[in-house]
Amino acid sequence: GRCYLPKEKWAPTGWTPQHNNGDNPAFNSLWKDHIKLAMDCLNDGWTYTQALPSSWIRVRLSCSWPILLGIRTLQPLANPPLPQSKPAKVPRSEVYEIMLRTIVSSPFPSVWNGLYNRFLEQYQLPEHKAETSSP
């Protein structure tokens, strides 16, 4: 099995993994709060990544990959998973695509700055637009 939230968070909602039918408003609210928290953390990470000097290409790339992969991972988790749901995994081909897109866009500030927002739009997580800046 898998659990994305600590038991002490979901236990007070009355939800249990054994009786997960997706019909528990308290748990669903808790789930969405944690998705928002994760998105806020990813947004902070992207803000940090953008603040790095553009000449620090390797550092910017190594910071951007987990952020963009995090967005891609959260997309299937936007709603609480049901027992029959597949684990939230990013296919290897998409990992390579993300790496290629970031490497190719790194020399172009306007393209680089738009990556995060394009990922949010592509994976339908529009409520957390990052501010773009050119360091």
Closest-CA residue to 128 (of 71, 80, 51, 66): 71
* Domain residue ranges of the chain, discontinuous segments joined by +: 23-78+88-122
Q: What is the pTM of this model?
A: 0.80
| Tens-level pLDDT at each residue, the chain (135 residues) | 456 678 888 888 888 777 777 778 888 888 888 888 999 999 999 999 999 998 999 999 999 999 999 998 888 888 777 766 777 788 999 999 999 999 999 998 888 888 888 888 887 664 554 444 444
Helix pair angle (57-74, 92-105), 10° resolution: 140
Per the structure block, which two tokens stand in for 37? 């928290």
Give the span between the Cα atoms of 88 and 70, in whole angstroms.
10
Which residues, including other chains, have CB under 8 Å from residue 8's CB and lie 6 or more apart?
none
Residue 34 in tokens: 């944690």
Q: Which amino acid is at 110?
A: S
